[in-house]
Amino acid sequence: MIQVASLLGVSYTGKSTLAEGIVSRLAHEGVTADVIKKDEAMKAVGVERYGSNDKTGGYSIKGFLKHGEIPAHELHAFMNGQIRTSLDLGHIAILEGGTRTRTAQSETLHDIELDEDGLRIFMLELPFREVLKRARSRRNESGRYDDRLPIALAKLYGQYKGLRSPDAPQIGDIDVSVLDASLQTTELAEITTKEILESC
């Protein structure tokens, strides 16, 4: 039974929208799921690291320069606690971002006991040209600090680097399902929900 559904893909592939769609679709079937968002973890860690006045959502360039690194361990620990809470309630955890390598995944799921088939990775694939198009559109609309060009490009560079490392989940791995992120969210939610329900 799938207990943790991890949505894997670079920024702008629609992970957040899909996660909410899955939760809604599962609720329609009487199943409760919680979305565990890396960006929420980043905000919480940002406040802890940079103070309550942090307006960058945890993506402070000055903060990174001062501390010398992205707070990866804190992020994984924060998400680990949220996943534990979700599973303790008997819910499915939808992990949205933050686990682009097997090492990161292992740290996020540290000491969490899952069934043999308890983790399913849904890999969202989108051509780079479309990623850039979506990035431009969201930057013009959102006003988010991490959508500013230097931050967005740095994030995408790190994400593509992680996804192409030998340590990253691969198409063809037994726990990986590939999704075409250019499809409508409702269609993607239907596909993922069906796979989750069929595992029960």
Task: Decide if pLDDT at 95 tops 80.
Answer: yes
- Kindly state the average pLDDT of the residues 63-69: 56
* pLDDT confidence tier of residue 163, bands split at 50, 70 and 90: confident
SS3 string, 74-140, reads HHHHHHHHHHHHHHHCCCEEEEECCCCCHHHHHHHCCCCCCCCCCEEEEEEECCHHHHHHHHHHHHH
Can you give the pTM of this predicted structure? 0.86
Instruction: State the residue for tokens 């534990």.
Output: 84
Query: For residues 20 and 164, what is the distance between their CA atoms, to the nearest angstrom?
Result: 27
* pLDDT confidence tier of residue 91, bands split at 50, 70 and 90: very high
pLDDT of 100 reads 81
Task: Decide if pLDDT at 57 tops 70.
Answer: no
- CATH number assigned to the domain with residue range 4-91+107-198, chosen from the 4 options 3.90.1310.10, 3.30.1330.10, 3.55.40.20, 3.40.50.300: 3.40.50.300
Q: What count of Cα atoms within 13 Å lies in the side-chain half-sphere of residue 148?
A: 10
Instruction: Check residues 45 and 89 and name the one with the higher pLDDT.
Output: 89
The amino acid that residue 33 corresponds to is A
Task: Decide if pLDDT at 65 tops 60.
Answer: no
For the chain, the straight-line distance linking the first and the last C-alpha, in angstroms and rounded, comes to 5
Instruction: State the residue for tokens 């600090």.
Output: 145
* pLDDT confidence tier of residue 39, bands split at 50, 70 and 90: confident
Q: What is the DSSP letter of 168?
A: S
* H or E segment to which residue 189 belongs: helix 185-198
* pLDDT confidence tier of residue 150, bands split at 50, 70 and 90: confident
Instruction: State the residue for tokens 């990866």.
Output: 72
